[in-house]
Structures are given as structure tokens and as C-alpha cells.
């Protein structure tokens, strides 16, 4: 008979945190739409700090993973943990790559992506299948020219780091006491401050290329928020505030929309702002979100919908952004002339995410969960 118990009781669900993830995901799409008009100049970017949503996602993931699994290790194996995380995340990774490949040739651009027009189909399909595994491509091997580790679906870089964080948690960090974990979290916070305040750019932008510089940025962005989220979950210091979802949504919007702090001669000022937001403001938001309650049925439905579509939006929207960016740049479109289509891109991103959720992600995950559960039950009865 298997020594692994199948009696894992369900826990309280944090609906507000689901809703906040959806709010941040939609703001990410808006950030990328506006980014096309910035000309790569961060000082002119609207929704300037939208990229910090990734760091917020890492914190949320750490919090949720610790809450869901910290007390289950006597009831499940490490491989079972990995299977659960794969079932939750991997189907939409595959869908994001498929959508990226399907739209690839529509993104050809004389200025941004001139190589797309002559890219052989076999190479596109090879990159797509490699993308299914989240194995990163080197800058010399990718097929877009931006040096992305996942050129068909740029945001997949953060899922690559998410998987690394889950492995580190399962192998090492879950075994640490809160005191030891606190020491590591402080070290990771120091790394973050060192890079953002004293580093060359004054921000955390990056992490999507497979080279030493970008990998350093990626791990700097990952380590503090993910493991601070775990520590926050363990400490259980939650804050109860009336209207928590709306308060937290407003805080997230403010953090992401705030213009760049300082100028080219004072990059450290923006670094202080981003460190402050990641180290203090984001944990505060999660504490309020987890400590709040939703009593209004309408707000509950909003949070559920936003939570359901948050991950599909994040992992499928960027192929549309490639196309939109190429259109804006090739045709020298101004914000005044391009915002209408930008709104359409935002709506299309939400619609595609919802369709992927209902027609693909939920059915596939349910099938995988049933198969996984049946196998485990069968093993327990032997």
C-alpha cells in the first residue's frame, strides 16, 4: 500500500488575491500597448512601471504556494508537487506558444522583424516545440531578433523563472525555519536594492534573455518576492480592511502607473521607488488582500472572473503586442491615431484569454487532474 495519503483537505480560497492578479494582468496588457509609442524611452512611457506586475506575480506565487503546500509534505511526494504545478501552469504555456506561432508571420516588419518574412516553417515549428518545454533559447538561436529566450511568447520567460522558484522551494526552502528563511529574504532584498539603486539602469527591467546580464536580472527579480511571499504566508500577518479588493486594486494601479522617478542623471531615485514597492508595498497589498473578505456577490463574481482569466491573459496577449508594435512602428502611428486599435487589442486579449480558459485550459487541467487522481487512488489501494 502506498505511504502517501490522498486525504488532502481543501483550504480557504483567497478570492481577493485572484482578483488582484487579474487587475495586474490587464494593466500589463495596457502597459505593453502604450509601450509601442515610447520608442524604447522609459522616461516617456505611459503606465511607466507596468513591468513591476511581474514582481507582484512572483510575490503572489510564493504566498499561494506556501499556503497551499507547506503543510502537505507529509501527504505528498516531491514529484506529486511538481505534477500539480505542471498541471496548473503548463497547458497555457503550450497554448501561448501555439498562438505565438500562428501569428508569427503576421508580425513581419521591415524595421523590427525583417527576418520573419523569410523564416522557414520548419524552424518556426522547431522553436514552437522547444517553447512547449520552456527550455530557453540563446540569443543567437532565437528567430525574432530581440534576443528573447522565448521569441514566440515573450512573457514565458517569467514562467521559466517561476518553475525554478518552485524547484528551489521543493528541494530546499520549504525545509527552512522562519528564522533561516528571513535571513535569506533579507539577503535577497539587499540584492534587489543593490541592483536597482546602485546598478546601471535604476530599474528591474529585464530577465528575458539567456545571457549572464539578463539571467542576473531575472534571479534578482525572482528571489526576493517569491520567497518573501512564502515568509509572508507563514507569518500569517494579515490586515483586515473594509473594501480590501478595491483598496488593493487602487494601490496596484498607482504603483504601476506612477511616472519614472528622476532622470538620466539620477537613476538611483527610480531604483529606490521600485525597491520600496517590491519590498514593502507589494507585501502590504497581499496582506490586505488575504486579510480582506468579500461580502458583495457582485464583487465576488468580479474577483472570480479576473482570477480565472489572469494567467491566460498574461501568457497569451504578447503575440498580439508583437503585431501591434510592428504596425505602429512601420506606419509611424501616433498615440492619437493608434489608441483605438490599441483598445481593440486589449479587448481581443481578454476575449482570447477567456476562450482559451473555457475551451482549452479548464478541460485539459480537469482531464489531467482526474488522470492524476485516479492513478494516485489506484496506487493507494494496492
Report the alpha-carbon distance of residue 276 to residue 313 in Å, rounded.
27
Looking at the predicted structure, is the pLDDT value of residue 239 above 90?
Answer: yes
Nearest to 153 by CA among 119, 122, 127: 127
Mean pLDDT rounded to a whole number for the chain: 93
**Quick one: pLDDT at residue 379?**
44
Query: pLDDT (tens digit, 9 = 90+) per residue, 31-59?
Result: 999 999 988 788 888 899 999 999 999 99
Residue 217 confidence class, pLDDT cut points 50, 70, 90:
very high
- Could you tell me which residues come within 8 angstroms of residue 212 by beta carbon, excluding any fewer than 6 positions away? none
Query: Mean pLDDT throughout 251-277?
Result: 96
Nearest to 101 by CA among 73, 80, 122: 122
Write down the pTM of the prediction: 0.93
Would you list the domain boundaries of the chain? Answer: 15-381
Cβ–Cβ < 8 Å for 69, 51: no
| 3-class SS of residue 82 | helix
**Cell numbers that stand for 377 in this block:** 487512488
Helices 156-171 and 52-69: crossing angle, nearest 10°? 30
User: From the CA atom positions of the chain, what is the Rg in Å?
Assistant: 21
Residue 162 confidence class, pLDDT cut points 50, 70, 90:
very high
Query: pLDDT (tens digit, 9 = 90+) per residue, 2-35?
Result: 333 344 456 788 999 999 999 999 999 999 999 9
Q: How far is CA 84 from CA 87, 89, 121, 369, in A?
A: 5, 9, 34, 8
**Quick one: pLDDT at residue 44?**
85
Nearest to 272 by CA among 172, 321, 202: 202
End-to-end CA distance of the chain: 5
Cβ–Cβ < 8 Å for 124, 101: yes
Residue 380 confidence class, pLDDT cut points 50, 70, 90:
very low
**Quick one: pLDDT at residue 373?**
64
Residue 277 confidence class, pLDDT cut points 50, 70, 90:
very high
Report the alpha-carbon distance of residue 237 to residue 288 in Å, rounded.
9
Share of residues in the chain with pLDDT > 90 (%): 87
Query: pLDDT (tens digit, 9 = 90+) per residue, 110-146?
Result: 999 999 999 999 999 999 999 999 999 998 888 999 9
Query: pLDDT (tens digit, 9 = 90+) per residue, 165-202?
Result: 999 999 999 999 999 999 999 999 999 999 999 999 99
Amino acid at each position: 500500500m502506498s505511504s502517501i495519503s490522498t486525504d488532502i483537505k481543501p483550504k480557504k480560497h483567497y478570492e481577493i488575491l485572484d482578483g488582484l492578479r487579474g487587475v495586474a494582468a490587464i494593466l500589463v496588457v495596457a502597459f505593453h500597448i502604450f509601450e509601442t509609442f515610447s520608442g524604447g524611452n522609459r522616461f516617456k512611457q505611459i503606465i511607466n512601471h507596468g513591468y513591476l506586475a511581474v514582481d507582484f506575480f512572483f510575490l503572489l506565487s510564493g504566498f499561494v504556494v506556501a499556503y497551499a503546500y507547506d503543510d502537505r509534505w507529509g501527504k505528498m511526494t516531491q514529484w506529486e508537487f511538481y505534477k500539480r504545478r505542471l498541471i496548473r501552469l503548463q497547458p497555457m504555456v503550450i497554448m501561448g506558444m501555439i498562438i505565438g506561432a500562428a501569428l508569427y508571420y503576421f508580425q513581419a516588419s521591415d524595421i523590427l522583424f525583417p527576418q520573419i518574412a523569410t523564416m522557414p516553417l520548419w524552424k518556426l515549428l522547431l522553436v514552437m516545440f522547444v517553447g512547449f518545454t520552456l527550455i530557453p533559447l540563446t540569443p543567437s538561436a532565437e528567430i525574432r531578433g530581440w534576443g528573447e529566450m522565448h521569441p514566440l511568447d515573450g512573457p514565458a520567460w517569467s514562467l521559466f523563472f517561476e518553475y525554478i522558484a518552485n524547484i528551489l522551494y521543493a528541494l530546499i526552502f520549504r525545509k527552512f525555519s522562519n528564522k533561516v528563511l528571513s535571513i535569506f529574504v533579507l539577503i535577497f532584498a539587499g540584492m534587489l536594492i543593490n541592483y536597482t539603486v546602485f546598478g546601471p539602469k535604476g530599474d528591474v527591467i529585464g530577465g528575458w534573455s539567456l545571457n549572464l546580464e539578463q539571467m542576473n536580472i531575472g534571479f534578482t527579480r525572482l528571489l526576493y518576492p517569491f520567497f518573501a511571499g512564502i515568509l509572508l504566508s507563514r507569518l500569517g500577518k494579515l490586515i483586515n480592511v473594509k473594501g480590501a479588493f478595491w483598496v488593493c486594486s487602487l494601490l496596484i494601479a498607482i504603483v504601476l502607473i506612477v511616472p519614472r522617478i528622476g532622470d538620466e542623471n539620477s537613476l538611483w531615485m527610480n531604483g529606490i521607488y521600485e525597491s520600496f514597492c517590491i519590498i514593502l508595498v507589494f507585501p502590504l497589498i497581499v496582506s490586505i488582500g488575504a486579510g480582506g473578505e468579500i461580502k458583495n456577490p457582485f464583487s465576488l463574481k468580479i474577483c472570480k472572473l479576473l482570477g480565472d482569466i489572469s494567467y491566460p491573459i498574461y501568457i497569451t496577449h504578447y503575440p498580439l503586442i508583437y503585431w501591434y508594435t510592428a504596425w505602429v512602428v512601420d506606419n509611424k502611428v501616433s498615440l492619437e491615431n493608434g489608441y483605438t486599435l490599441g483598445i481593440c487589442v486589449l479587448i481581443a486579449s481578454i476575449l482570447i484569454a477567456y476562450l482559451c480558459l473555457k475551451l482549452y485550459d479548464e478541460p485539459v487541467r480537469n482531464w489531467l487532474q482526474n488522470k492524476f487522481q485516479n492513478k494516485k487512488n489506484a496506487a493507494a489501494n494496492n
